[in-house]
Amino acid sequence: MSSTAELIETIRKYALVALSKARYAHSIRVAEMSETLCQKFGINPELGKLCGVAHDMCKELSDDLLISFASRDGMPIKDIEKAKPSLLHGRAAAVKLNEDYAVTNRDVLQAIANHTFGCKDLYDLGKILYVADKIEPGREHITKEYLDNIMKMDLNSMTAFVVQENVDFLNARGKAIADDTLELLESLKK
């Protein structure tokens, strides 16, 4: 690929075909939010846009394909992922980007691979993607007032706030919470 902009367009076209209309629209909103947050926090906005467009590119693959892709990243498949293979979509997308599109940027690959759970050593681009995925304006609970308030925070405070919100949401529904998510939250509170 000769430029990040061309790569983004290539991935966007893939996502347009591979995803439902709703999932594609979500990905575009996440790309826009990631771009905005990157500008706010001094990170290359094109990388944020790439992460947003690509983060869910494997979301609608079969469980077998998700497991096949994710198993190639060198990390074990956790019990929570075995129980619900769709949780592997970020890891699968990172592998697909690396293998099929020659993406080698460690920040981009880490952000996409970890956007579902987070991880304790998440880079800033990963924090931005994690937050953007949860606060894009298509989400039901996101209001202008909510966004105005969250945009006043520094990146670590914003990420901790969004991760805590997610933990509370999962707890309220009796859903399992990944250890990686709790480790991210703990690391942000230090």
User: Could you state, in order of their start, the residue ranges of all structural domains in the chain?
Assistant: 4-189
Distance separating alpha carbons of residues 35 and 22, to the nearest angstrom: 20
**Measured distance CA(122)–CA(119) in Å, rounded:** 5
Domain 4-189 CATH superfamily = Hypothetical protein af1432 (1.10.3210.10)
Contact partners, residue 58, CB within 8 Å, separation at least 6 = 18, 65, 66, 69, 89, 90, 92, 93, 96
Q: What pLDDT digit, counting tens, does each position of 14-71 carry? A: 999 999 999 999 999 999 999 999 999 999 999 999 999 999 999 999 999 999 999 9
Q: Write the pLDDT tens digit of every residue in 89-108.
A: 999 999 999 999 999 999 99
Q: What is the pLDDT of residue 2?
A: 57
Q: Cα-flanking dihedrals φ and ψ of residue 104, to 5°?
A: -120, -5
| Angle of CA points 41, 180, 89, to nearest 5° | 80
How many CB atoms neighbour CB 7 within 10 A?
A: 20
> What is the pLDDT confidence band of residue 161, given thresholds at 50, 70 and 90?
very high
Rounded CA-CA distance 179/119 in Å is: 9
